[in-house]
């Protein structure tokens, strides 16, 4: 067992569970929240719930600690980043499409006023 700052069991387990499974789910949740025009606060609450599931997978499949406040916070921050990226990516497309008379997409995560 090689504990690190970000992972409890191994780096491969952290990448698979937290970043791929949790991050992918967080990205899709962020997209869903953006598509329904909900607030970032609601997204953060959904990520708290998702983080409990991610911690359970660490515990049940890989022998991690179920109720570890430190690793819960690490997992929460990582999936929150994925979630907000998914939300922002989707929101940028929504703004550029719905308000195409005033805005255009500016990169994958942003938009700008037309003519600027």
Q: Please name which of 26, 14, 15 lies closest in space to residue 81, comparing C-alpha atoms.
A: 26
Res. 1 pLDDT band, cuts 50 70 90: low
* pLDDT tens-digit map of 89-101: 999 999 999 999 9
- Is the pTM above the cut of 0.95? no
Q: Does 1 map to a domain? A: no
pLDDT band at 34 (very low <50, low <70, confident <90, very high): very high
Domain range for 79: 11-113
Q: Tell me whether residue 63 is in a domain.
A: yes
What domain count does the chain have?
1
Residue 3, domain member (yes or no): no
Q: Distance (Å, rounded) from C-alpha 114 to C-alpha 21?
A: 38
Could you tell me which residues come within 8 angstroms of residue 26 by beta carbon, excluding any fewer than 6 positions away? 47, 50, 79, 80, 82, 83, 86
- Kindly report, residue by residue over 45-74, the tens digit of the pLDDT: 999 999 999 999 999 999 888 888 999 999
Cα–Cα dist 30/114, whole Å: 26
pLDDT tens-digit readout, 11-28:
899 999 999 999 999 999
CA–CA distance from 9 to each of 1, 12, 18, 65 (Å)?
Answer: 5, 9, 12, 9
What letter would DSSP give residue 62? H
């Amino acid at each position: 067992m090689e504990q690190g700052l970000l992972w409890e069991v191994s780096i491969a387990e952290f990448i698979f569970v937290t970043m791929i499974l949790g991050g992918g789910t967080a990205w899709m949740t962020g997209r869903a929240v953006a598509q329904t025009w909900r607030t970032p606060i609601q997204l953060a609450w959904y990520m708290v719930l998702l983080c409990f599931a991610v911690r359970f997978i660490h515990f049940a499949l890989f022998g991690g600690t179920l109720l570890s406040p430190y690793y819960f916070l690490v997992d929460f921050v990582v999936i929150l980043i994925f979630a907000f990226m998914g939300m922002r990516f989707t929101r940028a497309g929504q703004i550029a499409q719905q308000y195409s008379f005033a805005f255009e997409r500016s990169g994958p995560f942003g938009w700008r006023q037309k003519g600027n």
